[in-house]
Structure 1
Amino acid sequence: MKKIVVAPDSFKGSMTSREICDIVEGVVKEEAPQIAVVKVPIADGGEGTVDAFLTSAGGKKVFVEVTGPCFERTRAFYGILPDEKTAVIEMAAASGLPLVRGKKDPSVTTTYGTGELIKNALERGCSRIIIGIGGSATNDGGIGMAAALGVKFLDERGNDVELTGRGLERLHKIDTRGLDPRLKEAEVIVACDVDNPLHGPEGAAYVYAPQKGADEEMVRYLDSNLKHYSDVLKNHLDFDVQSVKGAGAAGGLGAGLVAFAGGKLKPGIDVILEAVRFEEIISDADLIITGEGRIDGQSLRGKAPVGVAKRAAKKGIPVLVLAGDVDDSAEKLYEYGITSILSINRSIIPLDRAIARSKDSLKHTVRAVIRLLANPTQNRIPLLKRNYHG
């Protein structure tokens, strides 16, 4: 074995994808220094997306003061890749749930700051914008974002509506004449790992608003407002947003980006793997290590392990998946080119303790794997002598 590619998503609440990469690399250097390790931290469009791109592709981070989800000023950031034309934005940096600081109420939060990040990137000359829309605190259908870029959202009297999920109730007219013209020349790619519609039982409010602080009554109210928003979009822009898979992502920001920025919704894992030329990176790899915090049936819906495994399968490269928790339904993942799935937890302990010791648990698990794989003759494992490159 000469080369291992490490391409994990984060273990939410315990380790970032970059930390996981560094831990695996450290263990390999200790146990088998002859093996080269290539690190490709992965993100699905939420927190860590910018860092994942900058680590894998290079570039710089730009810090900007913007409007936070509760209309307070906050310091956010985005990345610019080495071509100086591609910006990578994670909406969570400007409109994410951690920024509400315990004041959870998705009816009064806004995506305005996300629009300010897009505008800043355009002002810096970026013509290709990749935006990850995971981790939102919002349910405004993206009207805050669009307003920051020049769109007006008006009530029956021609007054501006509140740029929140609550404000959608009064929406009567949309005026796009002031929309930043640079968007027409820009390519906007939306990294999104869900396919929920804007409204309805599987829509933004019913599925995600409870995580943001909404009770049952508020969920129904927000869903009704998103339905009204959908009707206004259809009447004024002739745009049937409800037919767009993923429109309900990030409280409807997916819908807003498609309607006003010409955004193209793509699975987050595909966006980042294409951007870093993953198939080139793994062309001579002997093993790929990937993973995420929990592996279950939902991992089939555009998550990192399956996205990585699909590409590895084309080249016959074995894939090891590491996770904090492995559900019984994870067995389905073996059909997608995954070779083995392991939990890093070595004993049954409460979640808070498992998170606290996650880094040590990962080290122990990786050490056991590398000691096994790095000494195939000693351990008498014929499988490891296979030629995975045909």
Structure 2
Amino acid sequence: MRVLICPDKFAGTLSAPDVASAVAAGWLGEDHLVQRPLSDGGPGFVEVLAGALDGRRLPVETVDPLGRPARGEILLSGTTAYLESAQACGLHLLTAQERDPNITTSYGLGLLMTAAVEAGAAELVIGLGGSAVNDGGAGMLAALGAAPIDVAGNALPYGGAVLSAAVALGGQPRLRQARIVVATDVDNPLTGLHGASKVYGPQKGATEEDVFRLDAALEQFAGVLEQAFGLTDLEVAPGGGAAGGIGAALIALGGRVTSGIGLVGTLIGLEKELDAADLVITGEGSFDHQSLRGKVVAGIANGARDRGLPCVVVCGRNETGYREAAGAGVTETLSLTDHFGSEEIALAEPARGLRELAGRLSRQWSR
């Protein structure tokens, strides 16, 4: 039997390649196992593509959401550079006590983009997801030489809250005419009820009062971007709310928004592997209602369903109902929390749990 193992990361514990390896290691029998770890643009985007593409991984000195030194990298394949915003803006880079979208910045992403352009990239493919920021890409633009300024002409400090004072950009972004592709599976607009602040602000540390303040600040900054780049309706552009509004800034720079899982799938030949598979195993750390709205698991389950293939989801914890998952194409769901009977053990020993679940699945499904 040909088993396709194509999971996303288990956030905070295992990368997507590590998840795939653990499942393969636990599988019993002589079946043919194909590992194709995936990403929808969030953490692990560069690592997943580096395992599938011919290219060079170039280390880059950048900064985290609080401006502290951080290590990042770009994947340069031909004249295309693949970047991951989470390496500089990721929520996982902060402790729970440090999360504050009023002051966190996307400056580090701008440093990654600068490094890519300096390395000769003519196209930047930027994965968005898992961010700790809500600054509409203001920090990123500052790193590119186009810092937001106030009415007195002073550059604004880091963070999303201060954007209420933005009236213009203090320069032109230095990108050497590089094309931009925005890889994300978030279709939220920049502002409003379904915008970056309202939907994702609370998980980044925003209080209810912060959400209203940040949304108003992004509305002000959207006007600045529209004026600077000759645009309209930036606030409602699909994907503009990705990564705390970085999506909107990249759209303003001429970026084309595309599905993260779709792009990764194309680059690693996922459709061909699905066509050849007899069983599909996918998964992620938390399998919940958001997983079924354009995330990796949803894309894989839909593809399996369209081909009449069984699709098993392995996860850290399962918060979906059976009918909801089945409607998306999921045949069976197994969680580490249920397997161990303890969330603490599931977080401490995810690789062991995945090996044990894989052994159980092989006894159930193997021919």
> TM-score with structure 2 length normalisation?
0.91
> Given that residues 198 and 246 in structure 1 are in contact (C-alpha distance below 8 angstroms), is that contact kept between their aligned partners in structure 2?
yes
Separation in 2, partners of 1:24, 1:99? 27
Task: State yes or no: 1:248 paired with 2:237.
Answer: no
For residue 56 of structure 2, what is the aligned residue in structure 1? 60
Separation in 2, partners of 1:292, 1:361? 13
Q: Select the residue among 75, 84, 96 that pairs with 1:79.
A: 75
What do residues 46-71 of structure 1 show as CA deviations (whole Å, max 9, x unaligned)? Answer: 21111111123343321111233222
For residue 95 of structure 1, what is the aligned residue in structure 2? 89
CA separation of 1:124 and 1:197: change in aligned 2, threshold 3 A: same
> Given that residues 26 and 354 in structure 2 are in contact (C-alpha distance below 8 angstroms), is that contact kept between their aligned partners in structure 1?
no
Q: Give how far 1:8 is off.
A: 0.4
CA separation of 1:161 and 1:193: change in aligned 2, threshold 3 A: same
What do residues 99-141 of structure 1 show as CA deviations (whole Å, max 9, x unaligned)? Answer: 3454222112211110111111112122232212212121111
> Given that residues 231 and 252 in structure 2 are in contact (C-alpha distance below 8 angstroms), is that contact kept between their aligned partners in structure 1?
no
Q: Give how far 1:256 is off.
A: 0.7
- The 5 A counterparts of 1:287-298 are 287-298=279-290
> Given that residues 58 and 75 in structure 2 are in contact (C-alpha distance below 8 angstroms), is that contact kept between their aligned partners in structure 1?
yes
Separation in 2, partners of 1:251, 1:130? 18
> Given that residues 104 and 135 in structure 2 are in contact (C-alpha distance below 8 angstroms), is that contact kept between their aligned partners in structure 1?
yes
For residue 118 of structure 2, what is the aligned residue in structure 1? 123
Q: Select the residue among 137, 142, 163 that pairs with 1:142.
A: 137
Separation in 2, partners of 1:78, 1:330? 40
> Given that residues 233 and 239 in structure 1 are in contact (C-alpha distance below 8 angstroms), is that contact kept between their aligned partners in structure 2?
no
What do residues 200-255 of structure 1 show as CA deviations (whole Å, max 9, x unaligned)? Answer: 23222222222222222222221111111123333443332112122112111111
Separation in 1, partners of 2:80, 2:334? 36
> Given that residues 233 and 240 in structure 1 are in contact (C-alpha distance below 8 angstroms), is that contact kept between their aligned partners in structure 2?
no
Q: Secondary structure at the match of 1:283?
A: helix
Q: Give how far 1:78 is off.
A: 2.2
CA separation of 1:347 and 1:323: change in aligned 2, threshold 3 A: closer
Indicate the larger mover: 244-253 or 58-67: 58-67
Q: Secondary structure at the match of 1:282?
A: helix
In the alignment of these two chains, the number of paired residues is: 365
Q: Give how far 1:314 is off.
A: 4.1
> Given that residues 198 and 248 in structure 1 are in contact (C-alpha distance below 8 angstroms), is that contact kept between their aligned partners in structure 2?
yes
What do residues 4-39 of structure 1 show as CA deviations (whole Å, max 9, x unaligned)? Answer: 1110011223322111111122123xx21x322111
> TM-score with structure 1 length normalisation?
0.86
Q: Give how far 1:351 is off.
A: 2.1
CA separation of 1:355 and 1:255: change in aligned 2, threshold 3 A: same
What amino acid maps onto 1:245 in structure 2?
P
Q: Select the residue among 348, 360, 366 that pairs with 1:368.
A: 360
What amino acid maps onto 2:7 in structure 1?
P
Q: Select the residue among 208, 219, 243 that pairs with 1:216.
A: 208
Q: Give how far 1:288 is off.
A: 1.4
Q: Secondary structure at the match of 2:276?
A: coil
For residue 273 of structure 2, what is the aligned residue in structure 1? 281
CA separation of 1:229 and 1:18: change in aligned 2, threshold 3 A: same
Separation in 1, partners of 2:134, 2:157? 12
For residue 338 of structure 1, what is the aligned residue in structure 2? 330
> Given that residues 106 and 139 in structure 1 are in contact (C-alpha distance below 8 angstroms), is that contact kept between their aligned partners in structure 2?
yes
Separation in 1, partners of 2:165, 2:20? 48
Separation in 2, partners of 1:320, 1:103? 36
Q: Select the residue among 321, 326, 351 that pairs with 1:329.
A: 321
> Given that residues 312 and 318 in structure 1 are in contact (C-alpha distance below 8 angstroms), is that contact kept between their aligned partners in structure 2?
yes
Bigger radius of gyration among the two: 1
For residue 155 of structure 1, what is the aligned residue in structure 2? 150
For residue 5 of structure 1, what is the aligned residue in structure 2? 4
Separation in 1, partners of 2:90, 2:320? 31
CA separation of 1:105 and 1:7: change in aligned 2, threshold 3 A: same
5+ residue gaps in structure 1? 376-390
RMSD: 2.2
5+ residue gaps in structure 2? none
Q: Select the residue among 260, 263, 273 that pairs with 1:268.
A: 260
CA separation of 1:297 and 1:227: change in aligned 2, threshold 3 A: same
CA separation of 1:127 and 1:277: change in aligned 2, threshold 3 A: farther
